[in-house]
Structure 1
Amino acid sequence: MSSNATSGDHRRVKSAAFLFACGCAGAAPHWLDSARSLWPAISLALMLGGYGLRSVMRGQLTRGSSASVPEIDRTTLPSLDVVVAARDEEAVVPRLVERLTSLRYPSGQLTTWVIDDGSLDRTSELLDDLAGQHPELNVIHRQRNAGGGKSGALNTALGCLTGEWLLVLDADAQLQDDLLERLVPYALEGGWSAVQLRKAVIDADRNWLTRSQAMEMALDAVIQSGRLANGGVAELRGNGQLIKRSVLESSGGFNEDTVTDDLDLSFRLLTHGALVGLLWDPPVQEEAVPGLHALWKQRQRWAEGGLQRFFDYWPVLTSAQLSLRQRWDLTAFFLLQYALPVVSFADLSTALITRSLPVYWPLSVVAFSVSGLAYWRGCRSGSEGPEIPSASLANLLVAIAYLGHWFVVIPWVTLRMSLLPKRLVWAKTSHGVEHPVQA
Structure 2
Amino acid sequence: MVFLYFLCVLYGLAMLFILAYSLAQGHLLYHFLKAEKNKIQKAPESPEIWPSVTVQLPIYNELYVVERLIDAVAKLNYPRPLLQIQLLDDSTDQTSELIRRKLAEYPSIDFQYIHRAIRTGFKAGALREGLEKAKGEFIAIFDADFVPDGDFLLRTIPYFTSGKVGMVQTRWTHLNRDYSVLTRLQAVALDAHFLIEQTGRNHQGAFINFNGTGGIWRKTCIYDAGNWHDDTLTEDLDLSYRAQRKGWEFVYRPEIESPAELPPIMSAVKSQQFRWTKGGAECAVKHFGQVNRERHPFHVKFHAFAHLFNSAIFIAVLLASLSSIGVFWAGEMGLISPVWLKVSGIFLVGFVLIALTYLVSFFFESKAFLNSALRVVWQLPLFLSVSMGLALHNAQAVWEGLTGKKSPFVRTPKFNLESGKERLSLNRYLIHRMPMTTWVEGVLALVFWGMVALAFSRENFLFLPFHAMLAIGYSIVFIKSFNSYGLGR
TM-score norm. by structure 2 comes to: 0.72
Structure with the larger helix share: 2
Which residue pairs with 1:428 in the alignment? Answer: 412
Distance 1:180 1:419, change over 3 A: closer
Is the counterpart of residue 132 in structure 1 residue 104 in structure 2? yes
What's the offset of the Cα at 1:324?
A: 2.5
Please provide the CA RMSD for this pair: 3.4
Distance in 1 (CA, whole Å) between partners of 2:20 and 2:399 is: 27
What's the offset of the Cα at 1:191?
A: 5.2
Distance 1:155 1:45, change over 3 A: closer
Is the counterpart of residue 92 in structure 1 residue 65 in structure 2? yes
Which residue pairs with 1:30 in the alignment? Answer: 8
286-295 or 346-355: bigger deviation: 346-355
Q: 2:226 aligns with which of 248, 252, 265?
A: 252
Is the counterpart of residue 55 in structure 1 residue 28 in structure 2? yes
Overall identity of the aligned pairs, in %: 21
Q: Does the residue aligned with 1:108 lie in a helix, a strand or coil?
A: helix
Amino acid at match of 1:58: H
Distance 1:356 1:241, change over 3 A: farther
Q: Does the residue aligned with 2:213 lie in a helix, a strand or coil?
A: coil
What's the offset of the Cα at 1:216?
A: 1.4
Distance in 2 (CA, whole Å) between partners of 1:143 and 1:190 is: 33
Is the counterpart of residue 413 in structure 1 residue 386 in structure 2? no
Amino acid at match of 1:423: S
Amino acid at match of 2:355: G
Q: Which of these two proteins has the greater Rg computed from alpha carbons?
A: 2
Q: 1:403 aligns with which of 369, 382, 387?
A: 387
Work out whether residues 152 and 254 of structure 1, in 8 Å CA contact, stay in contact via their aligned partners in 2: yes
Distance in 2 (CA, whole Å) between partners of 1:299 and 1:373 is: 23
What's the offset of the Cα at 1:189?
A: 6.2
Distance 1:332 1:132, change over 3 A: closer
Amino acid at match of 1:133: E
Amino acid at match of 2:395: P
Q: Does the residue aligned with 1:284 lie in a helix, a strand or coil?
A: strand
Q: 1:81 aligns with which of 31, 38, 54?
A: 54
Work out whether residues 85 and 153 of structure 1, in 8 Å CA contact, stay in contact via their aligned partners in 2: yes
Distance in 1 (CA, whole Å) between partners of 2:358 and 2:181 is: 15
Q: 2:82 aligns with which of 102, 109, 127?
A: 109
Q: 2:255 aligns with which of 276, 281, 292?
A: 281
Distance 1:108 1:253, change over 3 A: same
Distance 1:91 1:319, change over 3 A: same
Which residue pairs with 2:116 in the alignment? Answer: 143
254-263 or 154-163: bigger deviation: 254-263
1:376-420: CA deviations, max 9, x gaps?
222333399xxx977632222222323324532332224445788
Which residue pairs with 2:486 in the alignment? Answer: none
Distance in 2 (CA, whole Å) between partners of 1:188 and 1:435 is: 38
Which residue pairs with 1:266 in the alignment? Answer: 240
Distance in 1 (CA, whole Å) between partners of 2:287 and 2:346 is: 27
Distance 1:174 1:266, change over 3 A: same
1:172-221: CA deviations, max 9, x gaps?
11122222111111243695311221111110111111011112111001
What is the aligned residue count? 398
Work out whether residues 45 and 366 of structure 1, in 8 Å CA contact, stay in contact via their aligned partners in 2: no
Is the counterpart of residue 323 in structure 1 residue 297 in structure 2? yes
Distance 1:349 1:378, change over 3 A: closer
What's the offset of the Cα at 1:277?
A: 2.1
Work out whether residues 14 and 317 of structure 2, in 8 Å CA contact, stay in contact via their aligned partners in 1: no
What's the offset of the Cα at 1:303?
A: 0.8
1:109-146: CA deviations, max 9, x gaps?
2211111113312x212222233332324233333423
Is the counterpart of residue 370 in structure 1 residue 353 in structure 2? yes
Distance in 2 (CA, whole Å) between partners of 1:401 and 1:223 is: 21
Amino acid at match of 1:262: D
219-228 or 342-351: bigger deviation: 342-351
Work out whether residues 27 and 350 of structure 1, in 8 Å CA contact, stay in contact via their aligned partners in 2: no
Work out whether residues 83 and 167 of structure 1, in 8 Å CA contact, stay in contact via their aligned partners in 2: yes
Which residue pairs with 1:22 in the alignment? Answer: none
Gaps of 5+ in 1: 1-25
Distance in 1 (CA, whole Å) between partners of 2:313 and 2:397 is: 14
